[in-house]
Amino acid sequence: MRSAALALLAGLGGCVALAPRAAVALDVERPEVRSFIDDVSARNHLDRAWVARIVGAAESKSSVIDAMTRPAEKVKPWFEYRAIFLTDKRIREGREFLAEHRALLESVAERTGVPGEIIAAIVGIETSYGRLTGHYRVLDALATLAFDYPARAAYFRGELEQFLLLSREAGFDPLTATGSYAGAMGAPQFMPRSYRAYARDGDRDGRIDLWNDWPDIFESVAHYFAANGWHRGEPVCAPATLWYPDVEGLPANRLDVADTIGTLRARGVELDSLLPDDAPAMFIALREADAPSYRVGFHNFWVITRYNRSAMYALATVELAAAIASPAPDAEAAPAPPGATRR
Q: Categorize the per-residue pLDDT at 245 as very low, low, confident or very high, splitting at 50, 70 and 90.
A: low
- What does DSSP assign to residue 86? S
The H-assigned helical ranges of 69-191 are 78-85, 88-100, 102-112, 116-127, 138-148, 153-170
Residue 67: closest CA among 162, 160, 150, 144:
144
Dihedral (Cα; 29, 33, 35, 36), 10-degree rounding: -150
Amino acid 14: pLDDT = 34
Q: Are 117 and 322 in contact (CB under 8 A)?
A: yes
Amino acid 339: pLDDT = 42
The whole-chain average pLDDT of the chain stands at 89
Phi/psi at 86 (5° precision): -105, 60
The C-alpha atoms of residue 155 and residue 263 are separated, in whole angstroms, by 36
Which residues are the active-site residues?
126
Alpha carbons within 13 A on the beta-carbon side of 170: 23
Amino acid 258: pLDDT = 85
pLDDT in tens, 24-67: 899 999 999 999 999 999 999 999 999 999 999 999 999 999 99
- What does DSSP assign to residue 2? -
Q: Categorize the per-residue pLDDT at 233 as very low, low, confident or very high, splitting at 50, 70 and 90.
A: very high
Q: Are 292 and 286 in contact (CB under 8 A)?
A: yes
Amino acid 70: pLDDT = 78
Chain Cα centroid distance, residue 208: 18
Please give the order of strands across the beta sheet that includes 269-271.
259-260, 280-287, 292-297, 237-242, 269-271
Amino acid 247: pLDDT = 60
Q: What angle do CA 259, 265, 270 make, to 5 degrees?
A: 120
Max CA pair span of the chain? 68
pLDDT in tens, 68-100: 987 544 578 999 999 999 999 999 999 999 999
Q: Percent of the chain scored above 90 by pLDDT?
A: 79
Q: Are 321 and 118 in contact (CB under 8 A)?
A: yes
pLDDT in tens, 165-211: 999 999 889 999 999 999 999 999 999 999 999 999 999 999 999 99
Chain Cα centroid distance, residue 271: 28
Q: Are 62 and 76 in contact (CB under 8 A)?
A: no
The C-alpha atoms of residue 55 and residue 131 are separated, in whole angstroms, by 28
Residue 320: closest CA among 129, 186, 133, 77:
129
Q: Categorize the per-residue pLDDT at 10 as very low, low, confident or very high, splitting at 50, 70 and 90.
A: very low
pLDDT in tens, 302-341: 999 999 999 999 999 999 999 999 998 875 444 444 444 3
The DSSP H or E segment spanning 8 is helix 3-9
**pTM for this entry:** 0.87
β-bridge pairing 269-271 and 292-297: unpaired
The C-alpha atoms of residue 51 and residue 68 are separated, in whole angstroms, by 26
Q: Are 127 and 3 in contact (CB under 8 A)?
A: no
- What does DSSP assign to residue 99? H
